[in-house]
Structures are given as C-alpha cells and as structure tokens.
Amino acid sequence: MPNCPFDRLPSASSEKRLRETIKQNLNAALCSFQEFIESTETDAVPDFPSPAVLENFMAQLRAFQSISRRKATATPIQLIREIDHRWRMKIFLTLTDCAVRLEQYLASNPLHNFHARVLFRRAKTPLKDEAVALLLLLNERRATRADLAFLRPLISTDLGEIIDSLSTARPRHGARQDAVDRLRDRIARVAQKDLVQQRELFLIKAAAAKPFRQFLFDLQHRLFQKRLFGLSDERIKEWQTSSTLAKNRLRKRRFDDRKRAKQRYMRRRHKRH
C-alpha cells in the first residue's frame, strides 16, 4: 500500500493534537463534498471528489479509530456517526446529500430495476420472462407487440401511457386490424430503444462516478449502497423490506436454536436427577 500523508499523524498519546489534525483534514474533505453537491445543480457533469480526497477521508477514519469508543470492528459509517456526535461536524448529513445527488445524476438503470423486480417477486414472475427481458434490453432481438405487457413496468411514464391506451385500442369501423398491430410493433421498438439508451447512459455515468460510488459503498451504510445502482424508489423500498424480513428470519432462527438448546439441557439435567 502506498504511503499516505495521514499515516504520519501523531499517536493517540497526544490525543489533543490528533483530534485537531483529524478535524482539520475532515473539514477539507467536507469542502470537496460540498463542491460536488453544488456542482450537481449547475453542471452537466458534476465535480466529483478526487480519489486522493476520498482516500484521505478514509485515512482520517482509521486515525480516529485509535481514540474511538467503539470496537475495533466498527464500520466506517459507525465511526462517522461517533464523530458527528462528539464534534458536531454533520458529516453524515453531507454524505447523505451526496448519495441522493449521485442517485439523481445516475438516473434509472432499467436492467438493474428488472433484476430487482424479479428478485423480490420471484414467485410471481416466470423465469422465462427474465431471459426475454435481457435479450430485449441488450438489443439482441427486435421487440414486438407481444412484449408490450412485459416492457410496460420498465419504461417511462409518458411512453407507458401510450402503451396503456394501445392495449385497449380497437380499430374503427372499416379500418384494418393490422394497422393497430403495426402501430403496437412500432411502439414496442421505441420502448426497447428507450431502455437500451437508458442503460447505456447509466453505464457511462457510472464509469465517470466509479471512485465516488465505490467510496460511498465502502462506508457500509445500507441506504447509501441501495442508491448506487439506478433503482427506483419502489425497488429500493422492496429491497429494504426484503432485508428486514431476512434479518427477522435470522433473529428468529437464532432464538429457536437457543430455545432448543435450553430444552435439551433441561432434559439432560432432569434425567440426572
């Protein structure tokens, strides 16, 4: 690992100097984060914090850990919360704003939204639909009117309203049915092209923001992590619900294991007496 200037911080024995040094360098990083937030309001491409700033920020957290009251296994976000509590620096609020602005910049990724929808509604979504959607989004075949119902939840509101109207459209008296069918085919291909462009745009933006995305992910805060993949609010809510249920199931399994272990112990004790 390359030498970092923050590795030369004073030891924990001179705690006052250590606190002042950490505060000073954290404030410098906060200024960079604030510049990113302001740039998202005016620039097409935000002014992302440099990798050096991000690495130095993490180095400050490592230095703070030597005077922290938390365990050595504390996550970065836990250390940030302790710093905010002790020094009132509002780092968590600033980083939350950064995560929200980055999410808005990245916009939606239809492919990730689709994977999330299949993952959280596995019982309701046939697996064959997953393969069809991937082919459509990767532009390996042309979409047809038969794909409209599947594409509908993945596309923008305006185009979705057109699809909704076409789903109930009937040709007027004397008009040919194939005219409506051809229109549906064209709308399906427009929807496919829109999804492919959204995905490509997301990948371009994600590449530009890669160091900052990785930094926010490494802070180990679940809400930050969920905002880095172009998911809609509905998908994020489903993800959060799924995570909560998984945690509750794990907690119940541990409780049941302890209960069974206690029952076995009581039976053995009863046999002895």
Q: Which position has the token pair 């459509």?
A: 136
Question: CB neighbours of 176 closer than 8 A, spacing ≥ 6?
Answer: none
Q: How many CB atoms lie within 10 A of CB 162?
A: 15
What is the Cα–Cα distance from 185 to 154, expressed in whole angstroms?
Answer: 17
What would the two tokens of residue 188 be? Answer: 């399906």
Could you tell me the residue ranges of all domains in the chain? 5-106+209-238, 110-205
Contact by Cβ (8 Å): 75, 224: no
pLDDT given for residue 93 in this prediction? 96
| pLDDT tens-digit profile, the chain (273 residues) | 455 655 555 554 578 888 999 999 999 999 999 999 999 988 778 999 999 999 999 999 999 998 999 988 999 999 999 999 999 999 999 999 999 999 989 887 777 777 676 666 654 555 566 666 666 666 778 888 888 877 777 776 677 677 767 666 666 655 566 777 888 888 888 888 888 888 888 889 999 999 999 999 999 998 888 888 887 777 777 777 877 888 888 889 999 999 898 888 888 888 776
Q: How far apart are CA 84 and CA 246, in angstroms?
A: 30
- Locate 103 and state its tokens: 């999410």
DSSP H stretches of helix in the chain:
15-42, 51-64, 76-87, 91-106, 110-120, 127-137, 148-151, 157-167, 177-208, 210-218, 222-226, 233-272
Helix axes 177-208, 127-137, angle to 10 degrees: 80
* C-alpha–C-alpha distance, residues 105 and 103, integer Å: 5
pTM > 0.85: yes or no:
no
Distance separating alpha carbons of residues 8 and 20, to the nearest angstrom: 14
| DSSP codes joined into one string, 109-164 | -HHHHHHHHHHHTTTTS-HHHHHHHHHHHTTSS---GGGHHHHGGGS-HHHHHHHH
Distances (CA, A) of 110 to 126, 139, 235, 257: 18, 13, 11, 41
CA–CA gap between residue 85 and residue 79 (Å, rounded): 10
Q: What is the pLDDT of residue 4?
A: 61
Inter-residue contact 239 to 116 (CB < 8 Å): yes
